[in-house]
Structures are given as C-alpha cells and as structure tokens.
Amino acid sequence: MKKLIGLVLLIAGLAFMAYPFLEEGKQAKDTRSLERALALINSGEPADPADLDNLPVSEEALENTIRIEIPSIGIDQLVLPETTAENLNLALTQIKPDQTPGEGNFTIAGHRGWRDGRHFSNLSKVKKGDRVILQANDKEYIYEVTGSEVIPPTAVDVLNDRPGKHELTLITCTVTGADRLAVKGKLIDE
C-alpha cells in the first residue's frame, strides 16, 4: 500500500512540475499565431480565413496591437489593446481603453513571467535614461525612462494622466506578487 501511495504522489508531483511547461508551450504557440496573423494583416495581402482560424484574440484586437521595444533588456513584444486574463497570458496589454501613444499617460501591464525574457520578467532591470519604443500605425514613439518604484496594488493613481505630460507607465508584479513595479518614462520623440 505504501508503494502505491508513493507512486501516486510521484505521478502527481511530476504532473505539477510539467504543468507550467505545458501551459507556457500553449501560450508560446498562441503568441506565434498572433505574430503570423499580424504579419499577414500588415503585409496588405488578402487574408485567407483559414490563416486566421483559431486566433486567441479577435481580428479587431489584432489590428489594434502595437509593439513595444526596450533594447536595454531585450524586449520586443506585442501589446494587445485590452487587459484580460487571457490577453495577459499571451502578451503585454494596454491598461486603459482607447489610449493613443504619445498622448497623456500611455499605460501597459504585463505578467512578470517566471522565465527570463517572457513578458516583463526583466522590467526591474530597466534603468533611468533607457529608451522605450512604441510602434503603432507605422509610427514610432520614443520614451526615456525617468524612474521606477515599487507600489502597492491599490496605488492606481500612477496610471492617471497629468495635464500637459506625455508619459509611459509600465506595470508588473514584484517577485513575491504582493506589490507592483511601476516604470515611468517621458515622451522624447515621435
């Protein structure tokens, strides 16, 4: 009986260990699907509906996707236009609806990710003066990081627009998940 219990616990342990890898594999497949569909839409070629089947987001959301680059930490990722649990598992997301890069406080959220290079896993390594580039509608918006701070999850005022300021706010969890890391930047070129 002890051997049977030991075997069951061993199998359960292996299943628990494998789950994150299986889930990340599915998310990576969905992200590649997003990338292919976005490339197809951006090419201007007529899309075969079969090429857009099984997209993890709507075509409208895909068309409103922007790209973020943070060269200092190797980020080059998609930013989906709406924050939902499903979207956060696939990519970074815009926190506030109907945002326009270069106007007000453009806000982006992302999971910290447990693997290096995934989502905002390295956001804590961004330094004052680093550049953040948003690409939307064939235009680039360049921000310069002005600082970062750890804030409680309730400190949502960091997302507010400030009169006359064109800013960027990037949000992710701290390692423990108890607090949030907020990286701020100012628009320097568009």
Q: Report the catalytic residues.
A: 111, 173
> What's the DSSP call for residue 51?
G
d(CA 52, CA 11): 38
d(CA 58, CA 164): 34
The region, left, alpha or beta by phi > 0 then psi within -120 to 50, assigned to residue 33 is alpha
Q: Which of 180, 132, 127, 129 is nearest to 157 (CA)?
A: 180
d(CA 121, CA 110): 9
Strand partners, 105: 167
Could you tell me if 143 and 185 are in contact, meaning their C-beta atoms sit under 8 angstroms apart?
yes
**Whole-number Cα distances in Å, 40 to 29, 44, 51, 174:** 17, 7, 9, 36
Could you tell me if 165 and 130 are in contact, meaning their C-beta atoms sit under 8 angstroms apart?
no
